[in-house]
Homo-oligomer: A and B are copies of this chain.
Amino acid sequence: MVKVAILGYGTVGSGVFEVIKRNQHAIVNKIGEEIEVKYVLDLKDFEDDPVTEVLTGNFDEIVNDAEVKIVCETMGGVKPAYEFTKRALESGKSVCTSNKELVEKHGPELLRIAKANKCSYLFEASVGGGIPIIRPLRTSLAQEEILSITGILNGTTNYILTKMETEGLAFDDVLRRAQEKGYAERNPDADILGFDACRKIAILTSLAYGKNVDYADITTEGITAITDKDFAYAKKMGATIKLFAKSLKKDGRYYALVAPFVVMPENPLYAVNGVFNAILLNCNMGGETMYYGKGAGKLATASAVVADVLDCAKHIGKNLDTRWDEEKLAISPIDSAVRRFFVRVSGNDEAKIQEIFGEVELFNDVVEGECGFVTGEMTEEQYRRKAAEAGNVITMIRMD
């Protein structure tokens, strides 16, 4: 019997409580031990909910109880989650969390504290919800050099883009519908401006290379500028448009970017639709692997937290080491990144386009009064200069 505490009885916390109760039989079968929730920390009341038996409003009760070996931090936010996590780890209790903000901000420090106190800080649920990705990176791919990571890491934006494509709707309409269905927050900025995906790719990149990526170093563009006209061009190309969170290592330099990309069917991420997330890794030995599933949602996220709980339960008194140093990983300026660009310009001056952008693949019959084209490979800086020279760019989307 391993006793655990849950901090916060919100969506994910109540999901953790439910997964542990409902799947107790499967858990005992697999790891040979029962998991008991001894405390749930929350200041609210939950009448008629079985949680009332174990509800407490006092964190000290949890941190001072030597029987509690594992703490699930499902409060979200930095305050007081940061302090509670530190105190739990310092008292030798492992902490499992879904809190990507805290992980992104204080991951290396919390991992160091866990190691010093022979316990673990695990955060599978912080990226990709119910998709196993953090643990595979730490275990199944420990022998690999990660060459690149490309993720669809935000379900809200993927849902919006999928609906825009399949139903021909405008961004605002789909966003409103997504908010009604609960797929988008009332304040959707963190999602639609790309910040949520940015934090997640910062975490994955830090784990892939063992050093700390500051998410402020990652160029981040959201999907608010994407229109049905862009999708009309994508369709013409046999492509779709996805919000990618990408990082890669090339010639010893590291690049990272969150932005919409034009994606061809050859990319396994092309078919990842709706609220689903997926992460495509390219490794120097095993090649491409992809991990796909629900990127959010109460039970999927909670399930990932419980997977971490079981890992800790099998390793009590031992640190599950995750390499993520406080030393900063230098992200190269995006200016030097090389790729092709899809560009829409007003007017139809093909000669001018080719004069400025060189040989391009042209689409001049998709939207009246403009044309679109795909450039050859060039750096982001070269593209910016050419776009400024042209002076009539309506929009640009990077080619995958």
Q: Which of A56-64, A79-87, A284-292 lies at the interface?
A: A284-292
Contacts of A283 on B, CB cut-off 8 Å? 303
The chain B residue with its CB closest to the CB of A143 is B306
Q: How many residues of A contact B (CB 8 A)?
A: 57
Which one of B144, B271, B294, B321 contacts A287 once the chains associate, using CB atoms below 8 Å?
B294
A103 to chain B, nearest CB (A): 17
A residues 254-308 near B (Cβ < 8 Å) are 265, 268, 270-272, 276, 278, 283-294, 297, 299-300, 302-304, 306-307
State whether the Cβ of A140 lies closer than 8 Å to any Cβ in chain B. yes
Contacts of A143 on B, CB cut-off 8 Å? 19-20, 23, 26-27, 30, 303, 306-307, 309-310
State whether the Cβ of A131 lies closer than 8 Å to any Cβ in chain B. yes
State whether the Cβ of A124 lies closer than 8 Å to any Cβ in chain B. yes
Which one of B270, B286, B300 contacts A286 once the chains associate, using CB atoms below 8 Å?
B300
A residues 129-151 near B (Cβ < 8 Å) are 130-132, 135-136, 138-145
How far apart are the CA atoms of A288 and B132 in the complex, in Å?
A: 11
Q: Establish whether residues B284 and A293, one from each chain, have CB atoms under 8 Å apart when the complex forms.
A: no
State whether the Cβ of A187 lies closer than 8 Å to any Cβ in chain B. no
Question: Would you give the 0/1 interface string for A306-339, flagging 1 where the beta carbon is closer than 8 Å to chain B?
Answer: 1101110000000001010000000000000000
A57 to chain B, nearest CB (A): 28
Q: Establish whether residues B323 and A285, one from each chain, have CB atoms under 8 Å apart when the complex forms.
A: no
With A30-B323, A144-B303, A307-B140 in contact, do A22 and B132 touch (Cβ < 8 Å)?
no
Of listed A19, A210, A293, residue having the most chain B CB within 10 A: A293
A198 to chain B, nearest CB (A): 24
Which one of B29, B142, B302, B311 contacts A139 once the chains associate, using CB atoms below 8 Å?
B311
Contacts of A288 on B, CB cut-off 8 Å? 292-294
10 nearest interchain CB pairs? A132-B140, A289-B293, A130-B286, A271-B271, A286-B303, A290-B292, A285-B303, A143-B306, A30-B142, A286-B300
- 17 example contacts (A-B, Cβ-Cβ < 8 A) are as follows A19-B285, A23-B284, A26-B143, A27-B143, A30-B210, A30-B323, A124-B140, A130-B286, A135-B139, A135-B140, A139-B307, A143-B303, A143-B306, A144-B303, A286-B293, A287-B293, A291-B291
